[in-house]
Amino acid sequence: MALTTAPFKFLGFRRSLLTLSPYFLVKFQHSVSADTFKAVKCRDEDCDDFLPWLEKKAGMEISSVLSIGISKYGRSLFASKNIEAGDCPLKVPFHVQISPDNMLPEIKSLIGDEVGHTAKLAVVILHEQRKGQDSEWAPYISRLPKPGDMHSTHMPPKVIKTLE
């Protein structure tokens, strides 16, 4: 048995499209061994409330074949049966995605146009993180990787020189 897509840090899909932001779409198409995705049962406080929260926030039903588990890549989305081409087990509408558009007007007015999209998104996430459980995004924010969970990124010398 083979899965048809490779996961990234949070979601591993079989044959599906996943919208990562309002600005681009990523389609995963290559195969990997099913052994790569051996799931470890999630503890209730880690995973059980996330998909219902997302379903409520999106106002759309999420397929019951989906569950969250832990793979060697970290927290991943698993399907309990094959997902065929054309199936749509999960939709995340643009209005439900956290983005710089979620920035409070009083914060937005302090940040100039020269600040990039990624930095603006970081400000939004930090603001929501600071709110803790009072944030509408708490179930999502609490599942982001902690600094110790992330691998350092290798940057080519040309990129480092540009950043200096």
- Write out pLDDT tens, residues 12-64: 333 333 333 333 333 333 344 454 444 444 544 566 678 888 889 888 888 88
Its pTM surpasses 0.75: no
- Mean pLDDT score of the chain: 71
Mean pLDDT of 98-111: 87
Q: Cβ contacts of residue 30 below 8 Å, gap of 6+?
A: 4, 5, 6
**So what's the pLDDT on residue 148?**
67
Query: Please, are residues 92 and 21 in contact by the beta-carbon 8 Å criterion?
Result: no
Question: What share of the chain in percent tops pLDDT 90?
Answer: 13
Q: Identify which of 87, 84, 73 has the alpha carbon closest to the alpha carbon of residue 35.
A: 73
Question: What share of the chain in percent tops pLDDT 70?
Answer: 66
**So what's the pLDDT on residue 135?**
93
From residue 47, give the alpha-carbon distance in Å to each of 15, 83, 108, 142.
22, 21, 32, 10
Does residue 83 carry a pLDDT above 70? yes
**So what's the pLDDT on residue 46?**
63
Q: Please indicate whether residue 73 or residue 101 has the higher confidence score (pLDDT).
A: 101
